[in-house]
Chain A
């Protein structure tokens, strides 16, 4: 009785298919499905340096449009990216791709549209002009802007005029929030208002 059960056990243990499975088993390889929304990758399209991807990104420091090799291109920092895919959806030039967002978006005709508003708290503002000087759009429009934020150019976004902060062209703001970061009193705030659209109505 004891020997028979021991023999049965050995026979069961060393049966061919079990040994083969034990030694040569192959599990199915782990593959990322094509519809998974992974960290965005670059397509071959040309970046127009509009920075819409940077402005919609919810994660701090995850994407940056940098100049390298003579062209502008978005750079994604993998450790900061939360794989939300908003940059892919918002890019007007389809520079970025992730999962099947681009094809689905093309089929649906969806898009994001962002407008930027500048709010200045006049009671906190001490008219130092840091915001006007640091603003990258201002720098482009009027490179000669004075250190106090004075400018004779009417095309700038904002300037200090007669001892007061004036926002002239709010519509030119690209939403980068550089002014927010340089303001010593947190008097200026930029609002990024994003709207989701579908169809040609945008």
Chain B
């Protein structure tokens, strides 16, 4: 970064608004941000190196631990990659159950991201309301999979546990409970005048810049790019779903996209529960050798796994590309530039939902 001022203003690595350590160096004139740069590397885990030489039943758990907030999608992309590589079929019931787990995970992840944003713009009331709803989504996940954070639900050829009859009822009734709450909080967010002052027209990422920075996920969709890998997933195609796209490109749009996707996810889960096919949840199948690049839509955007396995299904080489790094770049190099207040810098950065644990792995 070319220095334009003598002192670049550091935000982080320890900052009340950051959930994870990351350093943002802003070159400022007064409070106007001229340039910004991100410094990563405070929590490198080296998890891809640990994964090498291990079979799926060990890598599956490591893949979940790449990111605690979106653990289901890491598991799903890894397992679907292994299945595609070895030609293992998935029973339709298991495919639907996977979608239910994934969408519940998306709900809780989006609500947490929106909580962080509300917390950053000092609207803690709405933030705490959102965390209350998130708790219910996590309880549903616990009911379905037996755990709240690292679920370990999907395995090659199916899922681990079937949906019990009483859980079917509880999931649909809890969704009926939380849907009006989410509608209410969405309205509170979209109509709140002070929230509007802090969010509308701030941190604008135009479509051109979003494409230049390769923004993905809700950040790209808030800038008018229609990209969602769920449209290419066979189960989602069967269920029917259309991505949420907004065109404003500001903080407000990014948070609203997430709110609307939560509503969309509730609809997807309802359709899954209604059309849940009967039958087996596991098809057997042995993981074998091969190389594959597999993609999936994480709550934050496109997640890519490159996998190479030997003849016994052990991982020889693996590399993970997580969505956050593109959004962090877009945030530091396009959204923050021109921010007129340092308080807007933190809120703009958080609105892109940066997940540092994913980024550094």
Contact = CB atoms under 8 A, between A and B. Distances in A.
Interface stretch (A12-20, A64-72, A101-109, A124-132): A101-109
Interface of A: 33, 35-37, 56, 58-59, 82-86, 89, 99-101, 104-105, 107-108, 110, 117, 119, 191-199, 201-202
Interface stretch (B12-20, B276-284, B345-353): B276-284
Contact of A101 (B146, B157, B280, B284): B146
Interface of B: 55-58, 60-61, 139, 142-143, 145-147, 150, 152, 155-158, 160-162, 164, 280-287, 312-314
Contacts of A193: 55, 286-287, 312-313
Contact of B281 (A33, A85, A101, A110): A110
Overall SS of chain B's interface: loop
B101 to A, nearest CB: 14
Contacts of A191: 55, 312-314
Contact of B286 (A99, A119, A195): A195
Contacts, number: 85
Contact of A195 (B60, B162, B164, B284): B284
A86 B61 CA distance: 11
Overall SS of chain A's interface: mixed
Contacts of B145: 37
Given A35-B142, A196-B156, A58 B161 contact: no
Contact of B312 (A58, A100, A108, A117): A117
B155 A196 contact: yes
Given A86-B57, A99-B146, A196 B284 contact: yes
Contacts of B281: 108, 110, 198
B162 A201 contact: no
A66 B60 CA distance: 27
Contacts of B147: 36-37, 83
Contact of B157 (A56, A58, A107, A196): A196
A197 B285 CA distance: 8
A105 B55 CA distance: 23
Nearest to B310: A191
Contacts of A105: 161
Contacts of A100: 146
Contact of B55 (A85, A101, A192): A192
Contact of A194 (B55, B61, B152, B280): B55
Given A35-B143, A193-B313, A104 B162 contact: yes
Nearest to B146: A37
Contacts of A192: 55, 57
A197 B284 contact: yes
* Shortest Cβ-Cβ A-B pairs, 7 listed: A37-B146, A191-B312, A198-B282, A58-B58, A58-B61, A108-B162, A196-B282
A198 B158 contact: yes
Contact of A107 (B55, B58, B162): B162
A84 B119 CA distance: 33
Given A36-B146, A110-B282, A194 B56 contact: yes
A193 B142 CA distance: 28
B155 A198 contact: no
A119 B158 CA distance: 29
Contact of B161 (A104, A197, A201, A202): A104
Contacts of B158: 196, 198
22 contacts: A33-B143, A35-B143, A35-B146, A36-B142, A36-B146, A59-B61, A82-B150, A84-B152, A86-B57, A100-B146, A104-B161, A110-B281, A110-B282, A119-B312, A191-B313, A195-B284, A195-B285, A195-B286, A196-B160, A196-B284, A201-B284, A202-B284
B61 A89 contact: no
